[in-house]
Amino acid sequence: MGWVVMSERELNRVEILAQVDDGRLTVDNAAHMLALTRRQVFRLLKRYRQDGASAIRHKARGKPPNNRIHHAKRDYALSVIKESYPDFGPTLAAEMLAEHHRTHIFDNQSLSHRPEAVSEFGHWECDLMMFRKENGKINVTSLVERVSRYTVVMRNEDRQSKPIMESLIEGLAPLPADVRRSITFDCGFEFGEWRKLKPGIGTVACFGSIRLFEKDDVTGIDR
């Protein structure tokens, strides 16, 4: 027989239900002690009698929560905090993430959306290359095809997501569909308009962690 992990609250419920089942406690008293209605107590008692104490254990225990943040987003959030807010406490750091980085941390799709055949031609990795401040806001979008290592570079006037994504769509549209199957981005906010990619040219967009790209891939182009 295996172990059943239960919280103190669940153990308390089991003890009270056992007393009701033995006739040592009334349903009304149990309802008062558990802060439940009679109907809820009868429902719990039915489960207890059918499956024992383990039936009172919360059904979601041991399962990942539905609102769990994907590990790629978590990794990126931590990298942003270490780089930009190293001296901030958790509350203030969370506020800064929500205010300035919300789009690209909380609302993208992970590598699970990327086609399985990424070893075939037509799947790209994308990054934004920044320059020194004295050069202004101008930056470059770099695309590297995973198999051939063929590289495409596009100039941007700033880091606004909409024009960057429009430039990607315009630049890749003339290519055959099987040459632009998917693009894997890092989690930068400049790619926040990723939803335009699929309806625009049929290309799947997905996001990896900040450490997804190998050193000699996209980020190595600017050396």
Q: What is the CATH number of the domain that holds 201?
A: 3.30.420.10
In whole angstroms, what is the distance from residue 87 CA to residue 186 CA?
25
Q: Does some domain include residue 65?
A: no
How confident is the model at residue 219, as a pLDDT?
40
Q: Does some domain include residue 73?
A: no
Q: Does some domain include residue 79?
A: no
Domain that holds residue 39: 8-56
How far is CA 78 from each of CA 85, 93, 101, 210, rounded to the nearest angstrom? 10, 10, 12, 10
How confident is the model at residue 214, as a pLDDT?
39
How confident is the model at residue 28, as a pLDDT?
92
Asked if 70 and 169 count as a contact pair (C-beta separation under 8 A), the reply is no
How confident is the model at residue 127, as a pLDDT?
86
Asked if 209 and 75 count as a contact pair (C-beta separation under 8 A), the reply is yes
Give mean pLDDT in consecutive 10-residue pieces for the chain, a chain of 223 residues.
64 87 90 89 88 70 57 72 81 70 52 60 87 81 89 87 89 90 79 84 75 39 39
Q: What is the three-state SS of 55-72?
A: HHCCCCCCCCCCCCCCHH
Domain edge (last residue) among 36, 56, 76: 56
Q: Are residues 137 and 198 in the same domain?
A: yes
Q: Are residues 127 and 205 in the same domain?
A: yes
Closest listed residue to residue 57, CA positions, set 4, 131, 135: 4
Q: Does some domain include residue 20?
A: yes
In whole angstroms, what is the distance from residue 69 CA to residue 106 CA?
8
Asked if 184 and 124 count as a contact pair (C-beta separation under 8 A), the reply is yes
Q: Does some domain include residue 78?
A: no
How confident is the model at residue 173, as a pLDDT?
92
Q: Does some domain include residue 215?
A: yes
How confident is the model at residue 36, as a pLDDT?
87
Taking each continuous run of H as one helix and of E as one strand, the counts in the chain are 8, 5
How confident is the model at residue 103, as a pLDDT?
45
Domain edge (last residue) among 21, 37, 56: 56
Q: Report which secondary-structure segment, H or E, holds 139.
A: strand 139-145
CB atoms within 10 A of CB 197: 21
- Token reading at 90: 């958790």
How confident is the model at residue 211, as a pLDDT?
38
Q: Which tens digits make up the pLDDT trace of 72-126?
A: 667 777 877 888 888 887 767 776 776 666 544 445 555 555 555 557 888 898 8
Q: How many domains does the chain have?
A: 2
Domain edge (last residue) among 56, 72, 93: 56
How confident is the model at residue 217, as a pLDDT?
41
Q: Does some domain include residue 76?
A: no
Strand partners, 153: 142
